[in-house]
């Protein structure tokens, strides 16, 4: 018995340690979709800025608006997503910070919209009220608006502005996809804990919205976001059909006999 135990121990010592992989298996089709979506989003081009709904680009096709309190990381997220360092700077040019900024995604009928960051200290109170009214107008009346990507700093989620946006979106039956930004600021444990807590709060409020971790700095969550964008904007993969009738060999009589 002792001998058997000993040989078992030696065997264990001699046996090469097997690495157990905890890596999550991803669906290859989904990954392909994410990669193509990212390539597609890289075609983003600045279209125009509008101070109010009446002056926006024509209300056709589909658009998704990015919203967040100022400093939530919205410009960095748009730049990371479109892989263009300067793109969202267009929205930050003097005079454009309080405007609705439109970007086409390879096609003027598929758009990303950068809404003004809420809470700029430099903006006088009266202007903030005017702007809030314009934002409300846009959110309520814009037909091509499919939904929102709402950005919240992971260290300060669900502030007053965020709750207001969630309520508006819910009342208009728009989807909301929440990004907990700057996820790199927290370790993985606390970041996942916050993710779970915010999910629970949404559930309590009976809001069926999607949410993910995001970091422009180390590119956490880019694929997930690009897939959501592509899916919601009706982007279809540009793949030639792999099925070609001419490629099928004709069946001969001998084939059937075999």
Alpha carbon distance 55, 103 (integer Å): 15
115 neighbors 67 (Cβ within 8 angstroms): yes
Of 76, 144, 210, 212, which lies in the binding site for ligand GDP, with binding defined by CB under 6 A? 76
Does the footprint of ligand GDP cover residue 221 (CB under 6 A)? Answer: no
- Torsion on CA atoms 126, 130, 133, 139, rounded to nearest 10: -120
Burial class (CB in 10 A: 0-12, 13-18, 19+), 115: buried
Does the footprint of ligand GDP cover residue 71 (CB under 6 A)? Answer: yes
How many degrees, rounded to 5, is the angle at CA 190 between CA 188 and CA 194?
Answer: 115
- Tokens coding 213: 């971790």
**Radius of gyration, alpha carbons of the chain:** 25
The CB-of-212 to ligand GDP minimum distance in angstroms stands at 13
Q: How many other C-beta atoms can be found within 10 angstroms of the C-beta atom of residue 55?
A: 11
Mark the segment that binds ligand GDP (CB under 6 A) among 8-16, 39-47, 67-75, 229-237: 67-75
The CB-of-204 to ligand GDP minimum distance in angstroms stands at 27
The CB-of-98 to ligand GDP minimum distance in angstroms stands at 13
Does the footprint of ligand GDP cover residue 45 (CB under 6 A)? Answer: no
Q: How many other C-beta atoms can be found within 10 angstroms of the C-beta atom of residue 144?
A: 17
Does the footprint of ligand GDP cover residue 217 (CB under 6 A)? Answer: yes
Mark the segment that binds ligand GDP (CB under 6 A) among 64-72, 104-112, 134-142, 196-204: 64-72
Q: Judged by CB, which is closer to ligand GDP: 163, or 237? A: 163
The CB-of-216 to ligand GDP minimum distance in angstroms stands at 4
Of 184, 205, 212, 223, which lies in the binding site for ligand GDP, with binding defined by CB under 6 A? 184
- Which residues lie near ligand GDP (CB under 6 A)? 68, 70-76, 117, 181-182, 184-185, 215-217
């Amino acid at each position: 018995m002792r001998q058997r135990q000993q040989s078992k121990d030696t065997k264990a010592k001699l046996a090469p340690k097997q690495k157990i992989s905890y890596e999550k298996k991803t669906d290859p089709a989904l990954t392909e979709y994410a990669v193509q979506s990212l390539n597609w989003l890289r075609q983003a081009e600045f279209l125009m800025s509008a101070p109010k709904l009446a002056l926006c680009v024509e209300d056709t096709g589909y658009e998704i608006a990015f919203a967040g309190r100022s400093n939530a990381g919205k410009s960095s997220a748009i730049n990371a997503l479109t892989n263009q360092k300067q793109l969202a700077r267009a929205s930050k040019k003097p005079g454009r910070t309080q405007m609705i900024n439109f970007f086409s995604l390879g096609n003027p009928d598929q758009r990303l919209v950068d809404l003004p960051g809420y809470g700029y200290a430099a903006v006088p109170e009266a202007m903030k009220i005017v702007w809030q009214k314009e934002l409300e107008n846009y959110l309520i009346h814009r037909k091509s608006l499919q939904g929102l990507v709402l950005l919240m700093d992971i260290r300060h989620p669900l502030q007053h502005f965020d709750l207001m946006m969630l309520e508006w979106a819910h009342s208009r039956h728009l989807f909301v996809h929440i990004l907990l930004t700057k996820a790199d600021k927290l370790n993985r444990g606390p970041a996942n804990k916050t993710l779970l807590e915010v999910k629970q709060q949404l559930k309590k409020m009976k809001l069926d919205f999607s949410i993910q971790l995001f970091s422009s700095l180390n590119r956490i969550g880019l694929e997930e976001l690009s897939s959501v964008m592509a899916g919601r904007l009706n982007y279809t993969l540009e793949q030639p059909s792999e099925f070609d009738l001419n490629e099928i060999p004709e069946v001969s009589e001998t084939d059937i006999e075999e």
